């Protein structure tokens, strides 16, 4: 652990954030945050009990009416100052994320820029919320619509993008005039607490935001039963999201879900093969593959398979595995032993189904320090029925399959219950658009390995989710349309 990190950790709040203050849990209980690069404790964070969660939610409910009545310009300015604060503290936030997530510094730095951008984008959207005025077709009424904040929100976020997943919910909620209680993942609560501090420094009035870390998530999801809750927004695995959505549906709570993916990465023989191979650096290696939009299934036209695989192996061999906070690391460990076990199981199962492992037999030397490392792996010839074809890998594992023509490429790409992101590589723009339109996914990248942008709608179809975050659409998730009828 560097001195910089020790100094930073001493300054990062570790309490629950309620009513503008960082406070201990009522019982004083805490839980340990582990550094995945070493397997050792990084910090102790206050653990919200069910009654702490209730206290946090009471605070946001009490603050709701006044915030909804606050002029949009004031809401916007607080969000804009938050954006600036996050950029001013880019170095600390980069280091903090890499420490608690184990992710390489360059990836964490990119997330600071991405996460901060949601505050700038929604600061700009806050002042553009508009209604509508029309006449009834029969000429007998005036029809007026207004957009109003949906009301107090509950958010639950995953560990893999500890800043951006919170920012994508908190920024539009506050922009729309909603208050929000949020539970960060227990693996990475420090970044969200840092964000609460940023919002406080930016002038966020007391009570608008509660941050409720806990090791027992049921303490917070119990709030789904609170009759004052108006909105539930979840990012995480499909299984947990669906269970919580079922709970929320009992009271018809407005629900948004950002769930798991199984992205196809389709490379046609007319593609720039070198560019398609290099894009794997982002589509697969970012965050060691622990990204919901990470390419999960590489579908490559038969005629170029060998060349593509050879180039991908070369690209990946350039990546250095090491501690997230080390400047020399291009990718870091997985987030915990649970992830290592899961990826190991999927790869072992693929090998049992006849897979050939071209890379990833063993860890580089010197990484037996208790960290949760998994080597970048390339598999080909994985037999049918292997779990790795249908399950989200969430690790640095490239699985290459082939197709013969466009029809088969589309059929294979769509042969999944997920529909978050997809990638297409071809130099034929007609084909690119045809395939992009035919793929069952919420987002398609053409000839590039990344697609996230605060100005674009992020979200999935099928079992990858409901609703969109970011873009013009992102604020709609936190607004209700009210219709007011007037005589003509
Ligand atoms: P997860 O579903 O295990 O956990 C997500 C959040 O839910 C965490 O805060 C966790 O503590 C909480 N949680 C878990 N069980 C709960 C329960 N029974 N009640 C209440 N809360 C509960 O997911 P994860 O492992 O943190 O994140 C990885 C998953 O998230 C992957 O599937 C990934 O694809 C998905 N993800 C999706 C997006 C997207 O935008 N679609 C973005 C990032 C991650």
pLDDT digits (tens, 9 = 90+) for 125-145: 999 999 999 999 999 999 999
Is residue 457 situated within a structural domain?
no
Domain at 342, CATH number: 3.40.309.10
Q: Is 235 in the pocket of ligand 1 (CB under 6 A)?
A: yes
pLDDT mean over 250-270: 98
277 and 245 within one domain:
no
Q: Is 258 in the pocket of ligand 1 (CB under 6 A)?
A: yes
Is residue 314 situated within a structural domain?
yes
181 CA distance to ligand 1 middle (Å)? 16
| Residue nearest ligand 1's atom 41 by CA | 258
Inter-residue contact 335 to 36 (CB < 8 Å): yes
279 token code pair: 């894009």
Please count the other Cβ atoms lying within 10 Å of the Cβ belonging to residue 175.
29
pLDDT mean over 132-159: 98
Helix (H, G, I), strand (E, B), or coil: what is residue 27? coil
Q: Is 367 in the pocket of ligand 1 (CB under 6 A)?
A: no
224 token code pair: 């789904």
Q: Is 98 in the pocket of ligand 1 (CB under 6 A)?
A: no
Q: Is 157 in the pocket of ligand 1 (CB under 6 A)?
A: yes
202 and 85 within one domain:
yes
Q: Which of 100, 111, 117, 258 is flagged as catalytic? A: 258
108 and 48 within one domain:
yes
Helix (H, G, I), strand (E, B), or coil: what is residue 87? helix
Q: Compute the distance between CA of residue 154 and CA of residue 340 in angstroms, rounded to an integer.
A: 30
371 token code pair: 């960290």
377 and 338 within one domain:
yes
Q: What is the pLDDT of residue 2?
A: 55
246 and 290 within one domain:
no
| Residue nearest ligand 1's atom 13 by CA | 217
Q: How many domains is the chain partitioned into structurally?
A: 2
Is residue 306 situated within a structural domain?
yes
240 CA distance to ligand 1 middle (Å)? 7
21 and 35 within one domain:
yes
> Comparing C-alpha atoms, which of 467, 482, 414, 472 is closest to residue 444?
414
431 and 301 within one domain:
yes
pLDDT mean over 172-197: 98
> Comparing C-alpha atoms, which of 45, 47, 65, 77 is closest to residue 208?
65
Q: What is the pLDDT of residue 3?
A: 66
Element counts in the chain: helices (H) and strands (E): 15, 22
Domain at 471, CATH number: 3.40.605.10
What are 212-236's pLDDT values in tens digits? 999 999 999 999 999 999 999 999 9
27 and 8 within one domain:
yes
Is residue 353 situated within a structural domain?
yes
Q: Where are the alpha helices (DSSP H) in 134-203?
A: 164-176, 189-201
Q: What is the pLDDT of residue 368?
A: 81
74 and 158 within one domain:
yes
Alpha-carbon separation of residue 323 from 37, 320, 341 (angstroms):
5, 10, 19
Q: Is 420 in the pocket of ligand 1 (CB under 6 A)?
A: yes
Nearest atom, ligand 1, residue 241 CA: 2
> Comparing C-alpha atoms, which of 267, 359, 372 is closest to residue 318?
359
Is residue 79 situated within a structural domain?
yes
Q: Compute the distance between CA of residue 122 and CA of residue 207 in angstroms, rounded to an integer.
A: 20
Q: Is 392 in the pocket of ligand 1 (CB under 6 A)?
A: yes
pLDDT mean over 1-30: 93
Nearest atom, ligand 1, residue 394 CA: 31
Q: At residue 69, does pLDDT exceed 90? A: yes
Q: At residue 426, does pLDDT exceed 90? A: yes
Cα-to-chain-centroid distance, residue 366: 31
Nearest atom, ligand 1, residue 260 CA: 34
pLDDT mean over 341-361: 98
| Residue nearest ligand 1's atom 3 by CA | 237
pLDDT mean over 284-311: 98
Helix (H, G, I), strand (E, B), or coil: what is residue 43? strand
Q: What is the pLDDT of residue 369?
A: 82
Q: What is the pLDDT of residue 65?
A: 98
Q: pLDDT grade, residue 1 (50/70/90)?
A: very low
Domain that holds residue 356: 263-452
Q: What is the pLDDT of residue 36?
A: 98
Q: Which of 164, 240, 418, 477 to mutate to test the pocket of ligand 1 (most atoms within 8 A of CB)?
A: 240
214 and 113 within one domain:
yes
Please give the mean pLDDT across all residues of the chain. Answer: 97
258 flagged as catalytic: yes
Is residue 156 situated within a structural domain?
yes
Q: Is 214 in the pocket of ligand 1 (CB under 6 A)?
A: no
Is residue 481 situated within a structural domain?
yes
Q: What share of the chain has pLDDT > 70, as a percent? A: 99
281 and 248 within one domain:
no
108 and 177 within one domain:
yes
Inter-residue contact 150 to 169 (CB < 8 Å): no
Q: At residue 427, does pLDDT exceed 60? A: yes
Is residue 458 situated within a structural domain?
no
For tokens 């209680």, name the residue. Answer: 181
> Comparing C-alpha atoms, which of 18, 53, 14 is closest to residue 32?
14
Q: What share of the chain has pLDDT > 90, as a percent? A: 98
Please count the other Cβ atoms lying within 10 Å of the Cβ belonging to residue 375.
18
pLDDT mean over 468-476: 98
Inter-residue contact 237 to 259 (CB < 8 Å): yes
Q: At residue 252, does pLDDT exceed 80? A: yes
């Amino acid at each position: 652990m560097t001195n910089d990190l020790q100094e930073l950790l001493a300054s990062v709040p570790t309490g629950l954030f309620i009513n503008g203050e960082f406070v201990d849990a009522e019982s004083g209980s805490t839980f340990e945050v582990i550094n995945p690069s070493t397997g050792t404790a990084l910090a102790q964070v206050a653990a919200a009990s069910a009654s702490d969660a209730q206290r946090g939610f009471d605070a946001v409910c009490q603050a709701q009416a006044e915030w909804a009545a606050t002029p949009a310009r004031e809401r916007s300015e607080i969000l804009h100052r938050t954006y600036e604060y996050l950029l001013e503290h880019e170095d600390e936030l980069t280091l903090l994320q890499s420490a608690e997530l184990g992710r390489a510094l360059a990836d964490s730095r990119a997330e600071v820029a991405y996460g901060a951008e949601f505050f700038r984008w929604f600061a700009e959207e806050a002042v553009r919320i508009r209604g509508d005025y029309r006449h009834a077709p029969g000429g007998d009424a005036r029809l007026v619509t207004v957009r109003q904040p949906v009301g107090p929100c509950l958010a639950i976020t995953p560990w893999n993008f500890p800043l951006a997943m919170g920012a994508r919910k908190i920024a539009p909620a506050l922009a729309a005039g909603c208050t929000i209680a949020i539970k960060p993942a227990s693996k990475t609560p420090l970044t969200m607490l840092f964000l609460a501090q940023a919002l406080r420094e930016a002038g966020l009035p007391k009570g608008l935001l509660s941050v409720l870390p806990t090791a027992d998530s049921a303490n917070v999801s119990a709030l789904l039963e609170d009759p004052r809750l108006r909105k539930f927004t979840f990012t995480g695995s499909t299984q947990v999201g669906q269970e919580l959505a079922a709970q929320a549906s009992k009271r018809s709570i407005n629900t948004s879900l950002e769930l798991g993916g199984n992205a196809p990465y389709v490379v046609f023989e007319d593609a720039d093969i070198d560019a398609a191979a290099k894009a794997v650096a982002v589509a697969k290696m970012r965050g060691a593959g622990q990204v919901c939009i990470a390419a999960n299934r590489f579908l490559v036209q038969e005629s170029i398979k060998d060349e593509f695989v050879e180039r991908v192996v070369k690209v990946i061999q350039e990546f250095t595995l090491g501690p997230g906070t080390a400047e020399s690391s291009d990718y870091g460990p997985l987030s915990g032993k649970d992830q290592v076990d899961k990826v190991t199981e999927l790869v072992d199962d693929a090998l049992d189904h006849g897979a050939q492992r071209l890379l990833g037999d063993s860890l580089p030397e010197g990484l037996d320090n208790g960290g949760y490392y998994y080597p970048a792996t390339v598999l080909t010839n994985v037999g049918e029925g292997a779990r790795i074809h249908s399950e989200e890998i969430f690790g640095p594992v490239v699985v290459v399959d082939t197709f013969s023509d466009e029809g088969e490429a589309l059929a294979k790409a769509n042969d999944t219950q997920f529909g978050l992101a997809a990638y297409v590589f071809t130099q034929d723009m007609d084909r690119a658009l045809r395939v992009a339109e035919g793929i069952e996914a919420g987002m398609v990248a053409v000839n590039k390995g990344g697609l996230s942008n605060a100005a674009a709608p992020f979200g999935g179809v099928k079992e990858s989710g409901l609703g969109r975050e970011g873009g013009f659409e992102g604020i709609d998730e936190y607004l209700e349309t009210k219709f007011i009828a007037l005589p003509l």
